[in-house]
């Protein structure tokens, strides 16, 4: 479980995560803010729908992808929270109706460099 | 599948040097080279394939994967129709459907003026007996492409066109060849070729090879190989059409889409990623295999995609690349016999050769075996540039994977 | 019009700050692009936050960053924070995005100072929610004062103990520390200890951290040779093997660390030659004495070249900048050499201990190249070691063909967390040296670029 330590934040902002309002420290990354609220489930992967959360916190791994203010595929560790921000989990599959088991074996094909 | 004669490439030892020999040598292990090798082998010949890098390294493995008759130059249409039929039964040929999906292809008209051009094109094709390109109005366009921008007025649809996976395709052809006993030599760049006693002796970085027949399927390097095989200079330009792919998006489109008035090739894969291309060019260095991207031109490509599909404002580009293509001045390939005995050519597909891969192999197979093919390949003669002096008189043609 | 600078520095960590400061001091027009909101890099992350400068528990080496950042702030240069650099071309064009706007800028010289990233830790279960890197634990602590109260730390190397020690100083409970340093490394590194004698204080500090952790009653288990993460969807326990026996520690968070590797994506995409370093078990950029890469006009300095730590990076940044200034004709060779002398002395001193650390903390083969078939190698596309080995058996010979066959390395992280493993897996299967196996062919954008921003470039370039 993640918790916050030390002096409480001087300033805070209100954000919504999956429709729930929460008050978080100003200047924090979205990833840190959500972890501080005890949230570790950020997205489901597109291939097997596995649950993922932040891993590297430095913009390298792309495991903390979220939908922020309607924009998908944003790295939560690289975006700062702002007042009124609307944050949603990223449901990974390209087609929501696609069965995750099926998606695992579905067309892996695509051209490549 | 009928049984093939046990006719396989062999070795000859002469003066301490090992020399590989076969009935036919194919230079280039792109899709056309692999398909040609396959058809030659199915015709009972022993075949060696020489590849300077590895099979499918260049345009064959990294193109947009468009399988289309839509918008082809008139000279290519008959051949392309036969190819379309072969794509439908691809598994019979190579034991793999190559990821082919008959999703349809649509060329969108963004104005009444463009739509008029399309009407003329469809009428012209019909007058020649080709009915595959069908005009669709605004309503049908929107039915087929719910995500298309409202400003688009209509288009041309080819129902059974679609797309396939390029690397999987070239790999399937190669593996089928190998199963049948065709030998592939990677890293075997051809350095010299000469005739002796009715055979061709071919020197490469990986040793010497000998055969009665040589087929040049060297793509962007086809001009260089042609010169080694005794042809007068052929104007092949190495170009690097750029492609970009996005992160996964919700499914919003099935057919492959092009545009009448701008260069665009646009499709979404089953995994949600979207491929945007169409022939904006980066820089190609055929000598070093290097390509570089031109972001100003990619930006124009991105804007076209955004204009025609507003949903792309949500897209994030994760990779861009360019493959090296051999482009002829008149934008149609060289296919046919060479000037010297035993030489045949199939190169310079000008960035739209993917769909033709299966049929070109078949044509070469017929040519090598019988000296003539069932399709008219007159317009693709290698002599056309030498004959006419002005190589550019054919003019530019439609472009796209 | 595309803006033009004398020098563009990519990254504002120790190497980038030092390089840009040195260049600006000689009057060069310098642009610094950095992904973070404030300068410092990963090591001095959030160092400008007043409460961090008071925090003794972050360690003395962290406070070394204070004068460096101060000097950087005082320099006359253009500093763009929160900038995501997505391309560097061989003709020295840099593309970056900030606030939803993409821009192309050019310079006569580029200094790449992209630092390090954590080495992949491909063990069973490492993709589960609740598993993070030790670097991530540090970032959460320095930047956000967020800590995990039920965590197992597992890995090897100085950062592991530094992070645990920081938790200890702050009074945050730590469930256990699993040291994955192979036992044979202690003996193997011994001969290199002599070369590291100048830095004896550092070795002593590490030993003191270790002792303090033990004294605090935190279970510290050495000689652990295998680890896996168990749990249905998130971490429920960390299982480890010690003296041939498996044990489990219940926890909800696992921090993993097997050292760091250079962040090479920008350099590789620009075409800089790289080679495999056996001792560091990672790809490193090939550079000359002035940190020039194989691409004309591009220098690479700091941990983005090979791992040397913050102080070495600072010295390298200075040397790279002096080399660039000389190439630009701003200083003559004797001035360059004179100014570089102090940096070189410092660099030599820093590199003394490096060889010792490389040998001591080189992760075991089985931790870098997973044995278990179902261990995920490519986190993005969820491709397992077993699937990769099967694909290699089909006759797929290199990293790029593997990409085409299996999508390994084709997700948004662009191979950052699988590329090293893939090179080594192919080396193992083919018997080829890793340098010959090579790495993924990297292409820009090296960070995802919104298509809309790309399209807007068409308009801005016309103006």
Q: Which CATH number applies to A12-94?
A: 3.10.20.440
Domain B10-62+167-236+329-388 CATH (choose: 3.50.50.60, 2.70.98.70, 3.40.640.10, 3.90.190.10) = 3.50.50.60
Residue C252's domain comprises 120-258
Instruction: Give the pLDDT band (50/70/90) at residue C38.
Output: very high
Q: Please tell me which residue, B328 or B323, carries the higher pLDDT value.
A: B328
Residues 273-312 in C contacting A (C-alpha not used; CB under 8 Å): none
pLDDT of B330 above 90:
yes
The answer to whether A62 faces chain C, any CB pair under 8 Å, is yes
Lowest-confidence segment of A68-77, A99-108, B73-82 by average pLDDT: A99-108
In a 13 Å sphere around the CA of B375, the CA atoms on its Cβ side amount to 23
At B159-177, the pLDDT tens digits run 999 999 998 999 999 999 9
pLDDT at B4: 56
Cβ atoms within 10 Å, residue B287: 9
- Whole-number average pLDDT of chain C: 93
In C276-361, which ranges are continuous DSSP H helix? 310-327, 333-361
The answer to whether C407 faces chain A, any CB pair under 8 Å, is yes
Q: From the CA of A5, how many Å to the nearest CA of chain B?
A: 36
Q: DSSP class of residue B338? A: -
- Whole-number average pLDDT of chain B: 90
DSSP string, B270-294: TTS-EEEES--EEEEETTTTEEE--
Residues 240-259 in B contacting A (C-alpha not used; CB under 8 Å): 243, 245, 247-251
pLDDT at B57: 85
CB contact under 8 A, B293 and C443: yes
The answer to whether C140 faces chain A, any CB pair under 8 Å, is yes
At C73-124, the pLDDT tens digits run 999 999 999 999 999 999 999 999 999 999 999 999 999 999 999 999 999 9
Ramachandran class of C204: left when φ > 0, alpha when ψ lies in -120 to 50, beta otherwise = alpha
Nearest to A45 among C51, C170, C382 (CB): C382
pLDDT of C55 above 90:
no
Query: A71: which strand partners?
Result: A68
CATH number at residue C406: 1.10.10.1100
Residue B138, Cβ density class (10 Å: 0-12 exposed, 13-18 middle, ≥19 buried): middle
Residue of C nearest to B290 (CA): C271
What CA–CA distance (Å, rounded) separates B149 from A18? Answer: 31
Q: Among residues of chain C, what percentage have pLDDT more than 90? A: 80
Residues C251 and C128 in one domain: yes
CATH number at residue C174: 3.50.50.60
Secondary structure of residue B110 in the 3-state scheme = coil
B357-370 vs B31-42: helix crossing angle, rounded to 10: 40
Q: Please tell me which residue, C48 or C264, carries the higher pLDDT value.
A: C264
Question: In a mutagenesis test of the A interface, which of C50, C84, C132 is the best target, namely the one with the most A β-carbons within 10 Å?
Answer: C132
Whether omega before C347 lies within 30 degrees of 0, making that bond cis, reads no
Residues C93 and C222 in one domain: no
What CA–CA distance (Å, rounded) separates B269 from B273? Answer: 6
At B150-160, the pLDDT tens digits run 999 999 999 99
Final residue before a domain boundary, out of C331, C355, C379:
C331
Nearest to B316 among C398, C449, C456 (CB): C449
Assigned token pair, B154: 């209509």
Looking at domain B105-159+237-327, its CATH architecture is: 2-Layer Sandwich (3.30)
Assigned token pair, C75: 């320099």
Instruction: Give the pLDDT band (50/70/90) at residue A97.
Output: very low
Residues C111 and C233 in one domain: no
In a domain, residue C347? The reply is no
Lowest-confidence segment of A1-15, B333-347, C125-139 by average pLDDT: A1-15
Per-residue pLDDT, averaged over C351-374, amounts to: 93
Name subunits touching B (3+ CB pairs < 8 A): A, C
pLDDT of B71 above 60:
yes
Final residue before a domain boundary, out of C218, C236, C258:
C258
pLDDT at A107: 35
CB contact under 8 A, C454 and B302: yes
Q: Which residues of B touch A62 (CB under 8 A)?
A: none
Q: Which residues of B touch A73 (CB under 8 A)?
A: 247, 316
pLDDT at B391: 42
Question: In a mutagenesis test of the C interface, which of A26, A57, A67, A105 is the best target, namely the one with the most C β-carbons within 10 Å?
Answer: A57
Name subunits touching A (3+ CB pairs < 8 A): B, C
Please say whether the beta carbons of A14 and A69 come within 8 A.
Answer: no
What CA–CA distance (Å, rounded) separates B323 from B333? Answer: 17
What CA–CA distance (Å, rounded) separates C302 from C320? Answer: 9
What CA–CA distance (Å, rounded) separates C406 from C169? Answer: 46
All CATH 3.50.50.60 domain ranges of chain B, comma separated, are 10-62+167-236+329-388
pLDDT of A88 above 90:
yes
Secondary structure of residue A61 in the 3-state scheme = coil
Lowest-confidence segment of B289-298, C171-180, C427-436 by average pLDDT: B289-298
Instruction: Give the pLDDT band (50/70/90) at residue A4.
Output: confident
Q: DSSP class of residue C179? A: E
CB contact under 8 A, C451 and B296: no
pLDDT at B248: 86
Pick the closest to residue C260 from C349, C122, C130, C157 (CA basis): C157
Residue of A nearest to B252 (CA): A95
| Alpha-carbon dihedral sign for residues B369, B374, B376, B377 | negative
pLDDT at C396: 67
Lowest-confidence segment of B18-27, B215-224, C54-63, C314-323 by average pLDDT: C54-63
CB contact under 8 A, B292 and C450: no
What CA–CA distance (Å, rounded) separates B359 from B87? Answer: 9
pLDDT at B394: 42
Please say whether the beta carbons of B219 and B207 come within 8 A.
Answer: no
The answer to whether A105 faces chain B, any CB pair under 8 Å, is no
pLDDT at C190: 87
pLDDT of B5 above 80:
no
Final residue before a domain boundary, out of C226, C258, C290:
C258
CB contact under 8 A, A110 and B243: no
**CA distances (Å), origin B200, targets B3, B209, B278, C349:** 28, 8, 39, 64
Nearest to B295 among C414, C450, C457 (CB): C457
pLDDT at C366: 93
All CATH 3.30.9.10 domain ranges of chain B, comma separated, are 105-159+237-327
Per-residue pLDDT, averaged over C336-361, amounts to: 93
Q: From the CA of A61, how many Å to the nearest CA of chain B?
A: 14
Please say whether the beta carbons of A54 and A62 come within 8 A.
Answer: no
In a domain, residue C460? The reply is no
The answer to whether B167 faces chain C, any CB pair under 8 Å, is yes
CB contact under 8 A, B271 and A73: no
- Count how many residues are written for chain A: 113
What CA–CA distance (Å, rounded) separates A22 from B6? Answer: 75
Q: Backbone phi, then psi, for C224, in 5-degree steps?
A: -85, 125
In a domain, residue C361? The reply is no
The answer to whether A54 faces chain C, any CB pair under 8 Å, is yes
Assigned token pair, C260: 């760091």
Lowest-confidence segment of C82-96, C204-218, C420-434 by average pLDDT: C204-218
Per-residue pLDDT, averaged over C186-210, amounts to: 85
pLDDT at A7: 61
CB contact under 8 A, A60 and C129: no
Q: Which residues of B touch C437 (CB under 8 A)?
A: none
Instruction: Give the pLDDT band (50/70/90) at residue B16.
Output: very low
The residue behind tokens 């051009």 is: B117
CB contact under 8 A, B247 and C93: no
The answer to whether A5 faces chain B, any CB pair under 8 Å, is no
The answer to whether C456 faces chain B, any CB pair under 8 Å, is yes
Residues C124 and C253 in one domain: yes
Lowest-confidence segment of A42-51, B180-189, B279-288 by average pLDDT: B279-288
Ramachandran class of C135: left when φ > 0, alpha when ψ lies in -120 to 50, beta otherwise = alpha
pLDDT at B217: 97
Q: Which residues of C touch B167 (CB under 8 A)?
A: 401, 404-405
* Residue A25 Cα to chain centre, angstroms: 17
What CA–CA distance (Å, rounded) separates C409 from B190? Answer: 33
DSSP string, C64-88: THHHHHHHHHHS-SEEE-S-EEEEE
CB contact under 8 A, B63 and A111: yes
- The kind and range of the H/E element at B27 are strand B17-27
Query: What is the count of structural domains for chain C?
Result: 3
What CA–CA distance (Å, rounded) separates B335 from B352? Answer: 14
């Amino acid at each position: 479980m993640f918790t916050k330590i030390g002096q409480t934040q001087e300033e805070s902002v209100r954000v919504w995560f999956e429709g729930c309002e929460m008050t978080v420290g100003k200047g924090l990354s979205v990833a840190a803010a959500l972890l501080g609220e005890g949230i570790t489930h950020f997205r489901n992967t597109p291939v097997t729908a596995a649950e993922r959360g932040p891993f590297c916190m430095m913009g390298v791994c792309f495991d903390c992808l979220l939908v922020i203010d309607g924009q998908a595929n944003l790295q939560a560790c690289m975006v700062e929270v702002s007042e009124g921000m609307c944050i949603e989990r990223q449901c990974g599959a390209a087609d929501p109706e696609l069965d995750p088991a099926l998606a695992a074996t579905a067309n892996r094909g695509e051209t490549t460099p | 599948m009928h049984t093939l004669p046990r006719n396989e490439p062999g070795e000859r030892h002469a003066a301490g040097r090992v020399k590989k020999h076969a009935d036919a040598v194919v230079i280039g292990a792109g899709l056309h080279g692999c398909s040609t090798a396959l058809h030659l082998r199915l015709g009972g010949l022993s075949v060696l394939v020489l590849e300077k890098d590895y099979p499918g390294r260049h345009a064959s493995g990294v193109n947009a994967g468009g399988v289309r008759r839509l918008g082809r130059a008139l000279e290519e249409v008959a051949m392309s129709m036969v190819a379309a039929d072969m794509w439908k039964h691809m598994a019979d040929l190579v034991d793999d459907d190559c990821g082919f999906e008959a999703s349809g292809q649509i060329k969108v008209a963004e104005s009444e003026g463009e739509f008029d051009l399309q009407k003329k094109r469809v009428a012209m094709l019909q007058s020649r007996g080709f009915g595959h390109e069908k005009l669709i109005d605004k309503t049908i366009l929107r039915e087929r492409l719910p995500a298309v921008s409202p400003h688009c007025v209509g288009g041309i649809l080819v129902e059974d066109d679609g797309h396939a996976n390029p690397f999987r395709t070239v790999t399937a052809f190669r593996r089928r060849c190998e199963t049948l006993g065709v030998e592939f030599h990677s890293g075997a760049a051809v350095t010299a070729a000469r005739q002796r006693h009715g055979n061709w002796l071919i020197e490469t970085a990986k040793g010497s090879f000998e055969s009665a027949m040589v087929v040049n399927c060297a793509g962007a390097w086809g001009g260089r190989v042609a010169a080694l095989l005794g042809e007068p200079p052929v104007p092949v330009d190495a170009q690097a059409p750029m492609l970009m792919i996005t992160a996964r998006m919700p499914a919003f489109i099935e057919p492959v889409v092009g545009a009448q008035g701008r260069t665009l090739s646009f499709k979404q894969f089953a995994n949600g990623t979207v491929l945007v291309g169409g022939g904006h060019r980066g820089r190609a260095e055929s000598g070093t295999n290097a390509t570089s991207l031109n972001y100003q031109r990619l930006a124009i490509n991105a804007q076209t995609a955004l204009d025609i599909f507003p949903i792309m404002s949500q897209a994030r580009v994760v990779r861009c690349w360019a493959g090296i293509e051999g482009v002829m001045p008149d934008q149609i390939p060289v296919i046919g016999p060479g000037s010297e005995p035993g030489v045949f050519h199939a190169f310079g597909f000008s960035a739209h050769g993917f769909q033709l891969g299966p049929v070109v192999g078949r044509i070469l197979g017929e040519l090598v075996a019988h000296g003539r093919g069932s399709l008219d390949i007159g317009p693709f003669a290698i002599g056309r540039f030498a004959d006419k002096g002005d190589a550019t008189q054919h003019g530019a043609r439609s472009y796209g994977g | 019009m595309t803006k033009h600078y004398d020098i563009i520095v990519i990254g504002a960590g120790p190497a980038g700050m030092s390089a840009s400061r040195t260049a600006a001091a000689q009057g060069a027009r310098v642009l610094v692009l950095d992904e973070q909101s404030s300068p410092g890099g990963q090591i001095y992350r959030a160092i400008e936050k007043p409460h961090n400068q008071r925090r003794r528990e972050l360690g003395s080496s962290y406070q070394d960053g204070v004068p460096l950042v101060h000097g950087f702030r005082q320099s006359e240069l253009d500093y763009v924070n929160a900038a995501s650099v997505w391309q560097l071309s061989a003709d020295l064009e840099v593309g970056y995005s900030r606030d939803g706007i993409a821009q192309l800028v050019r310079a006569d010289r580029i200094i790449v100072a992209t630092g390090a990233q954590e080495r992949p830790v491909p063990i069973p279960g490492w993709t589960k929610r609740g598993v993070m890197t030790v670097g991530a634990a540090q970032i959460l602590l320095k930047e956000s004062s967020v800590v995990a109260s039920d965590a197992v730390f597992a890995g090897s190397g100085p950062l592991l103990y530094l992070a645990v020690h920081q938790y200890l100083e702050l009074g945050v409970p730590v469930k256990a520390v699993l040291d994955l340093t192979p036992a044979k490394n202690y003996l193997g590194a011994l001969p290199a200890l002599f070369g590291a004698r100048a830095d004896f204080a550092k070795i002593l500090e590490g030993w003191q951290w270790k002792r303090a952790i033990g004294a605090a009653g935190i279970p510290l288990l050495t000689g652990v040779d295998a680890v896996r993460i168990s749990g249905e969807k998130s971490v429920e326990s960390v299982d480890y093997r010690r003296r041939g026996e498996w044990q489990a520690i219940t926890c909800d968070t696992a921090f993993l660390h097997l050292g760091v590797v250079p962040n090479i994506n920008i350099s590789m995409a620009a075409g800089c030659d790289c080679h495999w370093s056996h001792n560091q078990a990672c790809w490193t950029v090939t550079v000359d004495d002035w940190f020039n890469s194989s691409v004309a006009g591009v220098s690479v300095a700091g941990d983005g070249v090979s791992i040397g730590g913050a102080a070495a990076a600072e010295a390298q940044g200075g040397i790279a900048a002096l080399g660039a200034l000389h190439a630009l004709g701003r200083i003559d060779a004797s001035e360059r050499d004179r100014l570089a002398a102090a940096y070189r002395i410092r660099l030599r001193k820093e590199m003394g201990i490096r060889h010792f650390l490389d040998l001591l903390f080189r992760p075991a083969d089985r931790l870098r190249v997973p044995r278990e078939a179902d261990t995920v190698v490519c986190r993005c596309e969820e491709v397992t070691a077993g699937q990769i080995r099967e694909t290699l058996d089909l006759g797929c010979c290199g990293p790029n063909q593997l990409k085409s066959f299996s999508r390994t390395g084709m997700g948004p992280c662009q191979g950052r967390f699988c590329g090293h493993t893939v090179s080594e897996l192919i080396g193992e299967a083919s018997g080829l040296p890793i340098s010959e196996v090579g790495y993924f062919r990297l292409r820009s954008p090296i960070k995802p670029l919104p298509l809309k921003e790309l399209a807007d470039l068409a308009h801005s370039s016309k103006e």
